[in-house]
């Protein structure tokens, strides 16, 4: 077994132990696949992680940038209390339509709003304060999203950002890879921001080799 195969096998083992998809999440994956969406949603284990982070800080208001088909949206929505609210922003109308179906199927329509638009425009139009911002859209936009996330978050709030390692492309980003350039600039900004305490978790498994950034706004 190669190292890659072993990482995938252990990821599958962890996901089946701790984060097996229920019928709603399985239908969400199937719905997105049938609609032809790219299969780049977070894994079930990553979904469980962002769900746990939201619960651990008692998040009541969550903002997601990059809904795709709504798979992570369901995980985050399930972490909310009865009076909680999740706004999820998606640029692509077809993706947003799939996500709305999935949110409805999950019984989360009261708490979750899918907003069609550009991440940065929608963030600029929002008012503080949020407890958690999850970034999972175009990586070249991450540095700008970070500034807005800081404006929108309360003290003690979290920024969680997917895909900030990109198979190591962030080490020396190619000038023709705007996503790697954006992720590297985001990591640099996160690491040097005096208002934040942050770390990047390198991740290997069924989603390949990537990383998840987690940052907390200092009190």
Q: Which residues bind Mg ion (CB under 5 A)?
A: 136, 162-163
Among 64, 85, 90, 136, binds ligand DHB (CB under 6 A): 136
Which residues, other chains included, contact 41 with Cβ-Cβ below 8 Å and sequence gap of 6+? Answer: 29, 32, 68, 69, 71, 72
163 touches 142 (CB < 8 A): no
CB of 42 to Mg ion, least distance (A): 6
Question: Does 206 interact with ligand DHB (rule: CB under 6 A)?
Answer: no
Minimum separation from the CB atom of position 184 to ligand DHB (A): 15
Number of continuous H segments (helices) and E segments (strands) in the chain = 8, 7
**Residue 163 beta carbon to Mg ion: minimum distance, rounded to whole angstroms:** 4
163 touches ligand DHB by CB under 6 A: yes
Beta strands in the chain (DSSP E): 61-65, 85-90, 112-116, 130-135, 153-162, 196-205, 208-217
Nearer Cβ to Mg ion, position 85 or 162? 162
131 makes contact, choosing from Mg ion, ligand DHB, none, with CB < 5 to 8 Å by partner type, with: none
Q: Least distance to ligand DHB from the beta carbon of 136, Å?
A: 5
Residues with Cβ within 8 Å of 140's Cβ and at least 6 positions away in sequence, in order, are: 178, 179, 181, 182
Binding region for ligand DHB (CB under 6 A): 40, 136, 162-163
């Amino acid at each position: 077994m190669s190292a890659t195969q072993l990482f995938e096998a252990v990821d599958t083992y962890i996901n089946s132990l701790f984060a097996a998809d229920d019928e709603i999440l399985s239908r969400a994956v199937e719905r997105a696949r049938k609609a032809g969406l790219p299969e780049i949603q977070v894994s079930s284990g990553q979904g469980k992680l962002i769900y746990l982070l939201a619960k651990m800080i008692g998040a009541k208001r969550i903002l997601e940038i990059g809904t795709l088909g709504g798979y992570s949206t369901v995980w985050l929505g399930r972490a909310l209390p009865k009076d909680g609210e999740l706004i999820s922003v998606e640029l692509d109308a077809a993706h947003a339509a799939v996500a709305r179906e999935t949110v409805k199927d999950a019984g989360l329509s009261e708490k979750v709003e899918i907003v069609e638009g550009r991440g940065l425009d929608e963030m600029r139009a929002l008012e503080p304060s949020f407890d958690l911002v999850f970034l999972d859209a175009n990586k070249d936009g991450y540095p700008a999203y970070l500034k807005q996330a800081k404006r929108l978050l309360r003290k003690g709030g979290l920024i969680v950002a997917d895909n900030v390692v990109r198979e190591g492309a962030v080490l020396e980003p190619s000038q023709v890879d705007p996503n790697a350039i954006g992720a590297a600039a985001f990591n640099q900004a996160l690491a040097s921001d005096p208002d934040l305490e942050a770390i990047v978790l390198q991740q290997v498994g069924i989603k390949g080799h990537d990383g998840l950034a987690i940052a907390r706004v200092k009190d």
